Amino acid sequence: LASLLTLLLPLFLRRVLQDPSHIGNFVVLFLASAVATLAGRAKDQICRVLSVRASSVLSLAIFQKSVRFSNLAHLRSPVGKVLGSSTTDMMLVRNYVLKVHDIWSSPVQLLLIAFMIVRLLGVSGIVGYVAMSILLFSQTRANAAVGVAVEDYLRIDEVRINHLNSAFQKIRGIKSLGLEPMFLKEIRSAREIQLEALWRRLRVVFCFFISINQMIPAVTAMVSLTSYWYTGHELVPEVVFPALTLFEMTFSPASKFSLSVTRQFSILPCVRRILHILHQPEHQLAGHEPGEAHQSSEVTAGNMIQFQDAKVSYYGKADDSSNSFVLGPVTMGIPANKLTILHGASGSGKSTVLSAIGGQAEVIEGQLLRNSATMALCAQDPWIMLGTVRDNITFLRPYEPVRYRQVVRQCCLESDIASFPGGDLAIVGESGANLSGGQKARISLARAVYSEADLLLLDDCLAAVDPRVARKLFHECIRKLPQTVILVTHQAEFIPYCDHVVSLANGMVAEVGCPDELRKSPHGAIGSILIGETGTPSKDHLDENMVIESPSKPDAADSKQITLVEEERARGKVDTDLYRFYFECAGGSRFILLLSLMLSLTVAVRIINSFWLPWWMGNVLSVSTHTYLTGYALVVMLQAVFIASVGVILVLGTMKASRSIHEGVVTRLFRAPLDFFSGQPLGRVLNRLSVDIDGIDFRLINAGDLLLMAATSLFAAVIVLVWSSPYLLLAFGPIFYFQYRIQSLYRVSARELRRVCSLLDSPVLSVITESMASMPTIQAYDARELFEERHRVALSRAIVGITVRYALETWITLRIEMLSVALLGCAGLLGVFGVLDSLQMGLIFTLSISISKHMHQFLWSWINVEVEMNSTERLRHYMTRIPVEDDHRSPESEQPEDEIVFSDVTVQYPRSHSASLRGFSMRIRAGEKVGIIGHSGSGKSTILAALSALAPVVQGRISIRGTPINGLSLTTLRSMVHVLPQDSVLFPGSVRQNLDPQLSHSDGELLHALAVTDPTPHRTNSTSNLLDLVIAPGGTNLSAGQAQLICLARGLLAKPRILVLDEATSSVDLETENHIQTVLQEHFHESVILCVAHRPTSVAWMDRVIVMADGRCV
């Protein structure tokens, strides 16, 4: 209806011009304009609602698929792809659905306009349409280039987001190892490739498409009217002005058709990426197809798990190129309701067995049968969700106070919870940022115990705590559990107390049976352990009722309090400083001057173009017709050139601003202290670096270009209109006043609503990043529905914001266009009362339609620019206002030797009530080896964090070689101190990239480092391309012991002057640890070594051992 009435307007206009005094013609014209406006805005609102629904359904489908990813799917579609599909793709989908009808309605409108033009001008109208078709066809090839550019942009955006996610997930390790420059280099490289794709897209759209679209009405009019004149017809107002109105009307459908074709090419990469995610393989529990019950009648009586000639790989048969570890063939059973210990050297396949049972690894041959309904997992790298301690323990089950307190006591968490501000309602950061390794392990264990699952998979959960706590956890908790428990551990002292033992070696089962049976085989690995064990209490002397000493109570000061920082939100009008900031990033005064010059020339040419035909018809310039014709063509060409020039300047400015802002934000984030990341969900940070970066890359330049084009067109049209009829000043005043009042009301609401929508996007992305990081735990607990509900709630809130914003857009558009209809009515009344003749009325009606379009675009784009500046506003906050670590120049060293001195050092974390380290003093001589032991939370790791300037020293000083560390640059300090943390710092990529981030070593050196650190030759020679082995996100395809060995090899290659080990060997077996101690003594004999350990044997060989308690050396 809207299209039909709009196309009939020129016919009504012609009748009005033929008899200006006839009021009936004027009423029909006025009513047709009003009804067309109402129908058009109703159509827009329907499409807006449908676009929101379409994107919502796709967002839910993508997330529901992502939490069902198999390991192979997680490798093929990492978090960057899922985030990109949930943000950029969804915006493109909404825009596509919003304008989906343009692909067919625009050609229909153009054909109907062509029919009316041909009726008016005859064959000359066809000539003009041929010219239009040539211009539109010229865009077809360019549209394909736009599609390729969009696909490249999205593909590289995945890489960039993956780099950012990997970096911020392991930001503590990155800072301690001084790897910020490496990650910045990777991110900058990806961003430059992305900007190159952006340049290819923007230059086509803004320098070619828009200039051609702006030319279409003028070129069509020029060609048609020139042909009309050449065929002997006279150019009279009754013909020229309706024709100009029709030609002006071609702009909207021609532009819409051009953009709709572009959207077809742009949406294809999004569709391919979404389908790529939705077609990924899903996680399956052992031996079952999705949807089947979790029981099997084929399991041998008395067993919970049955392996039958099973071969297991992390990525299945589909990943032959990764050289990943393959377990088996394995044949064994896990007895039901018994405690089974998996024992073996690091890399022997223990974690792979648990991954196979949990469904994270795939059985590629044989069978794996499971006879249990529910399962719980305590992973080597414990997953802690953002929330309270209580929420992390209860997880999917309701809070039962009596049972809850019992589990807390069994898992040795009473003293820890008592030390937390707020007790068990204290907030723990994402990934347990404010917890020690031991606390995370015990909370993860408590979650598994509280779940009351039939099957508990405990992957070396005792390695993160000291021996005293480990014994208490084992004897008071794990050993007494009535369910089926599979415990992976290297601590042989617990083997006599289990019901069943499985010994693994080289990916095969070496021994299996109960301890008493294996004790009779002295030549076996388990038998020799049981016979040769010394110092371990025998089963007869350690019964189930004995009381084991509780761990020392940590002081309250040890607990770093986490306060979730509320995401900032600007309020009120956009500050002029923000526009100044953006213009400076875009090129400063040079950018503004060039843009102003081109805009002024564009306005001048538009004004001349509007007056040229009336001058021609009235021969105002007293020149020949050929001169008028040549001048008209020249004006049209100049208009296209100046519009293209404006596009070039805008694109260059956008490129420069996007590069500058992204660089500033990323650099600032890498300089931010750890405390900043502790209080920020990762999804919130990635929201700025994805949605808001997309805003300054695309949405802002779209709004800015529309504003400038509408402003120049409107300014030129108003000048011509007022020049032609001063009486219209009386009509313009009230109309512009009401339009200003309407847009003022809308602008405030739209601006604040856009800010709220940005805040509502962050929880959606946080759920995605958290679920992708915790995939094994979610799948083991079958917690998909919990995260799907969290995602659904967050997405629903975000959708409400988008829906309200779309409704406001319809509201403002309707009112602005109705005011333009009122302007048309004022011009018609002047004609009815004889104030204007037909020539003046024709020009005024033509310009009124033009002004209606340009006024709407101007006010709409003006508001949209202010709304889209929200992205710049949010990025500027990260670029200028988040805290940064103190950095200093490095003075000359005062001492030649690497002596370290702690002088009365006190460390207190932000928002903590007490110090974590109190008056600590110690002198470490050059080359000295110092061990640090103590219970969990005693301050051991705080010493190491302070040495690397990762913890704030509020009193005293730390000096290296006589220079205070606060006088050293962070790069210098962290290059001197090489840290091997308990949570291994590995990144998605090959082993080569993880060993040698700077790519400064040969393959031979890398293989030698691996061979030196690993005592088992078969592990370093088992694959032909070990350095090309793919490490999955989070290192899920490696055991914790293997990851620690890779990190140790990286430390060996770094040859640091100061080596810091923070429980860096906690996940390896005793034989491997003994070998590592030999490596440390032989290859780091000149380096200072600080070693935090729970095992006394780990520090027995060192020069000194200090014992920590309550933040002090005792």
Tens of pLDDT along 249-305?
787 788 788 888 888 888 888 999 999 999 998 887 655 443 333 444 466 667 889
pLDDT band at 225 (very low <50, low <70, confident <90, very high): confident
- In this prediction, residue 729 carries a pLDDT of 59
Least confident of 385-389, 449-453, 1036-1040: 1036-1040
Residue among 560, 537, 648 nearest 598 (CA)? 648
980 vs 995: CA distance, rounded Å: 13
Mean per-residue pLDDT for 576-593? 92
1061-1099 b/e (C-beta count within 10 Å ≥ 16 → b): bbbbbbbbbeebbbbbbebbeebbeebbbbbbbbbeebb
Do 933 and 1108 meet the contact criterion of CB atoms below 8 Å apart? yes
The mean of the pLDDT values for the chain is 82
What share of the chain has pLDDT > 90, as a percent? 22
Q: Where are the alpha helices (DSSP H) in 19-122?
A: 23-66, 71-76, 79-86, 88-98, 102-121
Cα(1042)–Cα(991) distance, rounded to whole angstroms? Answer: 11
Could you tell me the pLDDT band of residue 450, with boundaries at 50, 70 and 90? very high
pTM of the full predicted structure? 0.83
Rounded CA separation 444/455 (Å): 15
**Portions of the chain given CATH number 1.20.1560.10:** 2-66+78-279+575-880
Q: Is the pLDDT of residue 58 over 70?
A: yes
- The answer to whether residues 616 and 628 touch, using CB atoms and an 8 Å cutoff, is yes
Give mean pLDDT, residues 1075-1086: 88
Tokens 């899920």, residue located: 1036
pLDDT higher at 995 or 619: 995
Is the distance from CB of 689 to CB of 161 less than 8 angstroms?
yes
pLDDT of residue 996 exceeding 60, the answer is yes
Distances (CA, A) of 153 to 255, 268, 862: 24, 13, 28
Q: What is the pLDDT of residue 539?
A: 39
pLDDT score at 563: 60
Asked if 509 contacts 352 with a C-beta cutoff of 8 angstroms, the reply is: no
pLDDT at site 654: 93
Angle between the N-to-C axes of helices 210-230 and 123-169, in degrees from 0 to 180, rounded to the nearest 10: 180
Could you report the per-residue pLDDT of 19-39, keeping only the tens digit for each? 666 676 767 777 877 888 888
Question: Does residue 186 surpass a pLDDT of 60?
Answer: yes
Number of H helices and E strands in the chain, helices first, is 37, 23
Cβ atoms 146, 265 nearer than 8 A: yes
Find the mean pLDDT for residues 561-566: 63
Give the type of residue at 1096: P
Residues of the chain with CATH 3.40.50.300: 303-378+387-428+435-558, 900-1113
pLDDT for residue 842 is more than 70: no
Average pLDDT, integer, range 805-830: 77
Q: Phi/psi of residue 1092, each to 5°? A: -95, 130
Judge whether 6 and 249 are in contact, CB under 8 Å: yes
Per-residue pLDDT, 318: 54
Question: Sorting pLDDT into bands at 50, 70 and 90, what band is 810?
Answer: confident
Question: Does residue 693 surpass a pLDDT of 90?
Answer: yes
Report the pLDDT value the prediction gives residue 661, as an integer from 0 to 100.
Answer: 96
The stretch 1062-1078 carries a mean pLDDT of 83
Q: Is the pLDDT of residue 557 over 50?
A: no
What is the 8-class DSSP label of residue 321? G
Looking at residue 1063, what DSSP letter applies? S
Q: Supply the pLDDT for residue 1031.
A: 81
What distance lies between CA 893 and its chain's CA centroid?
42
The CATH class of the 2-66+78-279+575-880 domain is: mainly alpha
928 secondary structure, DSSP code: -
CA–CA separation, 314 vs 395, rounded Å? 27
**What string of DSSP letters covers 258-300?**
HHHHHHHHHHHHHHHHHHHHHTSPBP--TT--TTS-S--TTSP
For strand 989-990 and strand 427-428, is the pairing parallel, antiparallel, or unpaired?
A: unpaired
Among 230-239, 360-369, 661-670, 898-907, the range of highest mean pLDDT: 661-670
Q: Which residue has the higher pLDDT, 834 or 539?
A: 834
- 613 has pLDDT over 80: no
CATH class of 303-378+387-428+435-558: alpha beta
Binning pLDDT at 50, 70 and 90, where does residue 1054 land?
A: confident
* Strand, coil or helix: 634: helix
pLDDT classification of 1020: cutoffs 50, 70, 90: very low
Lowest model confidence (mean pLDDT) among 3-17, 217-231, 550-564, 1080-1094:
550-564
Percent of the chain with pLDDT over 70: 85
User: What pLDDT score was predicted for residue 399?
Assistant: 92
Could you tell me which CATH class the domain 900-1113 is placed in?
alpha beta
- Of 318-327, 402-411, 1067-1076, the poorest mean pLDDT is in 318-327
> Of 939 and 666, which is predicted with more confidence?
666
Per the CB < 8 A criterion, the answer to whether 341 and 500 are in contact is: yes
Q: Give yes or no for a contact between 491 and 1071, defined as CB atoms under 8 angstroms apart.
A: no
What confidence score (pLDDT) does residue 1017 get?
54
